[in-house]
Amino acid sequence: MDLSSFFKYATPVIYWLLIITWALIFGFYMLKVKSVKTKDSLLRLLLIILAIDAFRSFFESTYFGLWYTSFSGLLPRSIFNFLNQPEIVFVPKMFNLITTYIIVTILIRKWLVAEISQKKELNDLVDLQNSRLIHKNKKLLEAKEQAEENEEKLSRAIMALPFPTMIHANDGEVLIINENWEKLTGYSHKDIPTISDWTKKAFGNESEQREISIYKLYDLDKKAEEGEFEVLTSKGTKLVWDFNSAPFGTFSDGRKLVITVAKDVTDYKRASLEVHNQKKLFETMFNTITDGVVITNTKREIILANKGMETTFGFKPKELMGKSTKLLYADSLKYADTGTALFDKNAKSSDNLYVTLYKDKNNDVFPGETFGTKLFDSNNKWIGNLGIIRNISERQNLISDLKLAKEHAEESDRLKSAFLANMSHEIRTPMNGILGFAQLLKTQDLSGENQQKYIDVIEKSGERMLNIINDIVSISKIESGLIGVHLEETNFNEQVEFIYNFFKPEIESKNLQFLLKNGISFNEAIIYTDREKVFAILTNLMKNAIKYTEKGFIELGYFKKDNFLQFYIKDSGIGIPKDRQKAIFERFIQADISNKNAKQGAGLGLSITKAYVEILGGDLWVTSEKGKGSTFYFTLPYQTEIISDKIKKIEVLAPAEISLTKKLKILIVDDDETSEMILSISLEEFAKEIIVARNGVEAVQACRKHPNIDLILMDIQMPEMNGFEATKEIRKFNPKVNIIAQTAYALIGDKEKVIEVGCNSYIKKPIDVSILKEKISELI
Ligand code: ADP
């Protein structure tokens, strides 16, 4: 195909494509014109112009398209020719020109107008915005001024707050502290520019902890309370502040603010501590008082009671709350009396001390001393009563005990005088006998019979005096606890029979009947007891019965009762008045103290007897009726087995066999010349030689010097070295020599002691020569 045929077809195709395209563009603009809002007239106008222009291009494309198509021979040339005519072109071109002018006109008229109005609108809008901005700005300025004014007011208010106040930002900067804060702490804002400075200064050791907890506050948006803390001032004093912190908005730079208001509670704390201490002191005092203390209202109902009420009444304080004090009184009349006298509205006396009978929780009545007083408030209005109650039963008992003791002391005094008089009589009587009859013995030409009679009197008087001295010694031994118990197997029936036989002649000589009631079988009669003490007990009681009975009978009886042997010595004598029945067992007391010379005796027998009975584990008592007679009872434990053997046996070698035909070499040791003389004379028949030593030392020396001494009569109580010591010394080098102790301690227990130190036997002073001879014969 040649080029000319290519253009022949291609050009018309391009034209037709242009025709279609412009038609579509025109359609598109027209649609857009429709859819554009009438308000947006400028755009609409523009679109219309564009549409017209598109139509013009469509028209022209159609014109030239047709022309080229016909020119290519595709359409008849006539059409081209038709178009080729100026008159035909005129119309479209005319149309073209008209549309151009229309457009220009439209543009000039509509476009300008629209643009002018739009510009005006825009100007108006700018003006409006401007005036709005100016207004806003003005408002902002006003607000700023207001805010500044408010801020200043607030700042002034904060400064003037009566509480220490601080405003701080959440980075720890202290923005404001008020005057009160500065005044109380002594720190100015310069001293504490940050929270850290503040905590370091105010909280000492706890500063770190405090700082951490303040920083925690910044994270909290709600109100936060911090509580009470001690604050150190610049002067080093301590204050107690009650802190309260809360969020306080935001600072201009965006930092959150916190306000901390503190209350200085130092004085309050001090005061409350003081009150607390006072209260504690009061409570301690109130409860340590051992007396009962109650506080009542005006109706006498208990509103406060101390612990002493429990000690005094047995009521726990809370048990008494609200109860009437009537509960405490043993006598309700007395309760009423104290009410009118002391605790009534009109009662004059405001305080009083009175003694009344109270009753405790167990209804036991006791005497109580009470201090009662009315209580008044600060307006002098009567608000209640106070009562302090002390149980005085012990005091009263003490007083009566003291009274008794005083009476006792007075009686003792009387008794002592009576005793002294009695002793003087007791000693003088036998002394008179001894001295008087010794004098009489010197009478020349005294008959042998009279001589014997006088000697008898002297002997009896001596015995009587010895008895008194023995009694006194026994009493002092009992008192100093020197009496021991020496249990031995004892046949009681034999013991009692001995007593019976011993006293029978004396009783019968007084024309009295003597009865023996033995309630113990032969097998039961063997018990372990201290034979010598039992003998002394029975002898004393028997002697008294004989002494105080003039007619009738004396009965001695004994029987077994439970684990005891019970004895009685009954007489039909003068009897003992009821009020003296207890006293007679006391020392130096006689039933009838007014009649000092009634009977011989120092009033010691019964007290010794009672002490012995008690030492042995028994009891002694009397039943008696004045004028009818008395019965003395005593018991002893019925002991068939030895519990503790208190008797110590000393190994003493058998004495050398000495023929009695040979006379003995005897050493008499005695510091008293008279005693030694009696012995020397009495022992003449045994002695080939008598050596005398005045004390233990001499005795030991004599023994060393004379190893062949056969017998020593050793006194116990001596100066320098006593008999016990001397015997012990002698036994060290001479175990064989026979030693007989002689002592004035004519008492139970002495025998055991001398045997213990090494003596072979014992004889009591004053020496009965016949007994001494018996003992020597036994030994040698
Ligand atoms: P005394 O040496 O005076 O007899 P006691 O201590 O043995 O001392 O006795 C004290 C007092 O008890 C006696 O003085 C006597 O008044 C009274 N008494 C003792 N035994 C009897 C008794 N069997 N009958 C009456 N009174 C007695």
Phi, psi of 214 (to 5 degrees): -70, -40
Burial 712-737 (b: 16+ CB within 10 A, else e): bbbbbebeebbbbbbbebbbeebeeb
What spacing in Å lies between the alpha carbon of 138 and ligand 1's midpoint? 135
Q: Write down the pLDDT at residue 118.
A: 78
* Nearest alpha-carbon partner for 12 in 57, 67, 54: 67
How far, in Å, CA of 407 to CA of 330, rounded?
32
In the structure, which protein residues have their CB atom closer than 6 angstroms to any atom of ligand 1? Answer: 544-545, 548, 571, 573-576, 584, 590-592, 601-607, 630
Evaluate whether residue 457 is within a structural domain. Answer: no
For the CA of 632, the nearest atom of ligand 1: 23
Pairing state between β 738-743 and 513-519 = unpaired
For the CA of 603, the nearest atom of ligand 1: 8
Evaluate whether residue 467 is within a structural domain. Answer: no
**198, 260: one domain:** yes
Q: Are 418 and 593 in contact (CB under 8 A)?
A: yes
> Which stretch of 17-31, 259-273, 401-415, 646-660 has the lowest confidence by average pLDDT?
646-660
**253, 319: one domain:** no
Q: Between these two residues, 745 and 75, which has the higher pLDDT value? A: 75
Q: Write down the pLDDT at residue 457.
A: 84
What spacing in Å lies between the alpha carbon of 600 and ligand 1's midpoint? 10
What spacing in Å lies between the alpha carbon of 539 and ligand 1's midpoint? 13
Q: Are 696 and 722 in contact (CB under 8 A)?
A: yes
For the CA of 575, the nearest atom of ligand 1: 25
- Protein residue with its CA nearest to atom 13 in ligand 1: 590
For the CA of 571, the nearest atom of ligand 1: 23
Residue 520: strand, helix, or coil? coil
Give the model confidence (pLDDT) of 573-610 as tens digits: 999 999 888 888 887 666 555 544 445 556 788 988 99
Q: Write down the pLDDT at residue 486.
A: 82
Ligand 1 binding pocket mutation candidate from 567, 584, 633, 634 (most atoms within 8 A of CB): 584
Evaluate whether residue 765 is within a structural domain. Answer: yes
Q: Where are the beta strands (DSSP E) in 156-237?
A: 165-169, 174-177, 224-232
Evaluate whether residue 762 is within a structural domain. Answer: yes
Kindly state the average pLDDT of the residues 371-377: 89
Burial 566-578 (b: 16+ CB within 10 A, else e): bbbbbbbbbbbee
DSSP run (H or E) holding 534: helix 531-547
**258, 311: one domain:** no
- Protein residue with its CA nearest to atom 21 in ligand 1: 544
**Cross-sheet strand order for the sheet of 365-376:** 302-305, 292-296, 382-391, 365-376, 351-359
- Protein residue with its CA nearest to atom 8 in ligand 1: 603
Q: Write down the pLDDT at residue 650.
A: 31
Pick from 342, 371, 391: which residue ends a domain? 391
- Protein residue with its CA nearest to atom 17 in ligand 1: 591
Query: CA-CA distances (angstroms) from residue 553 to 78, 508, 515?
Result: 208, 10, 7
- Residue 424: which pLDDT band, with cuts at 50, 70 and 90? confident
Number of domains in the chain: 5
| DSSP letter for each residue of 425-467 | HHHHHHHHHHHHHHHHHTSTT--HHHHHHHHHHHHHHHHHHHH
Residues 115/120/121/127 CA torsion (nearest 10 deg): 150
Q: Write down the pLDDT at residue 9.
A: 83
What spacing in Å lies between the alpha carbon of 361 and ligand 1's midpoint? 49
Phi, psi of 674 (to 5 degrees): -60, -50
Ligand 1 binding pocket mutation candidate from 425, 465, 472, 576 (most atoms within 8 A of CB): 576
> What CATH number is associated with residue 749?
3.40.50.2300
What is the DSSP code (8-state) at residue 503? Answer: H
> What CATH number is associated with residue 585?
3.30.565.10
Provide, rounded to the nearest whole percent, the portion of the chain with pLDDT above 70: 91
Evaluate whether residue 678 is within a structural domain. Answer: yes
Give the model confidence (pLDDT) of 375-413 as tens digits: 989 898 999 999 999 999 988 899 999 999 898 888 777
Q: Is the pLDDT assigned to residue 41 strictly greater than 90? A: no
Q: Write down the pLDDT at residue 654.
A: 34
* Nearest alpha-carbon partner for 49 in 36, 30, 31: 30
**529, 387: one domain:** no
Q: Are 230 and 253 in contact (CB under 8 A)?
A: no
Among 82-96, 340-354, 438-452, 598-612, the range of highest mean pLDDT: 438-452
Q: Is the pLDDT assigned to residue 316 strictly greater than 90? A: yes
For the CA of 540, the nearest atom of ligand 1: 7
Ligand 1 binding pocket mutation candidate from 426, 429, 538, 548 (most atoms within 8 A of CB): 548
End-to-end Cα distance, the chain: 201
What spacing in Å lies between the alpha carbon of 591 and ligand 1's midpoint? 6
**492, 590: one domain:** yes
What spacing in Å lies between the alpha carbon of 606 and ligand 1's midpoint? 7
Q: Give residues with Cβ within 8 angstroms of 707, minimum separation 6.
A: 734
List the domain range (segments joined by +) for residue 108.
Answer: 3-129
Evaluate whether residue 716 is within a structural domain. Answer: yes
For the CA of 591, the nearest atom of ligand 1: 16
**601, 491: one domain:** yes
**497, 629: one domain:** yes
**631, 756: one domain:** no
Q: Is the pLDDT assigned to residue 16 strictly greater than 80? A: yes
Mean pLDDT, the chain, whole residue set: 84
For the CA of 608, the nearest atom of ligand 1: 6
Evaluate whether residue 655 is within a structural domain. Answer: no
How far, in Å, CA of 246 to CA of 500, rounded?
114
Give the model confidence (pLDDT) of 289-303 as tens digits: 889 999 999 999 999
Pick from 238, 270, 302: which residue ends a domain? 270
For the CA of 607, the nearest atom of ligand 1: 6
Ligand 1 binding pocket mutation candidate from 465, 474, 547, 599 (most atoms within 8 A of CB): 547
- Protein residue with its CA nearest to atom 23 in ligand 1: 545
- Residue 1: which pLDDT band, with cuts at 50, 70 and 90? low
Q: Write down the pLDDT at residue 292.
A: 94
Kindly state the average pLDDT of the residues 371-378: 89
Ligand 1 binding pocket mutation candidate from 572, 590, 620 (most atoms within 8 A of CB): 590
What spacing in Å lies between the alpha carbon of 92 and ligand 1's midpoint? 189
Q: Write down the pLDDT at residue 40.
A: 76
**264, 384: one domain:** no
**42, 102: one domain:** yes
> What CATH number is associated with residue 213?
3.30.450.20
Phi, psi of 632 (to 5 degrees): -100, 130
How far, in Å, CA of 765 to CA of 745, rounded?
8
What spacing in Å lies between the alpha carbon of 601 and ligand 1's midpoint? 8
**489, 624: one domain:** yes
For the CA of 604, the nearest atom of ligand 1: 6
> Which stretch of 167-176, 326-335, 338-347 has the lowest confidence by average pLDDT?
338-347
Kindly state the average pLDDT of the residues 509-532: 87
- For residue 697, how many other CB atoms are within 10 A of its CB? 16
Evaluate whether residue 40 is within a structural domain. Answer: yes
How far, in Å, CA of 150 to CA of 654, rounded?
133
Q: Is the pLDDT assigned to residue 651 strictly greater than 50? A: no
What spacing in Å lies between the alpha carbon of 576 and ligand 1's midpoint? 8
What spacing in Å lies between the alpha carbon of 553 and ligand 1's midpoint? 17
Ligand 1 binding pocket mutation candidate from 464, 544, 547 (most atoms within 8 A of CB): 544
For the CA of 585, the nearest atom of ligand 1: 6
> Which stretch of 142-146, 645-649, 697-701 has the lowest confidence by average pLDDT?
645-649
- Protein residue with its CA nearest to atom 7 in ligand 1: 605
For the CA of 589, the nearest atom of ligand 1: 10
* Nearest alpha-carbon partner for 641 in 563, 574, 699: 563
**513, 628: one domain:** yes
Provide, rounded to the nearest whole percent, the portion of the chain with pLDDT above 90: 34
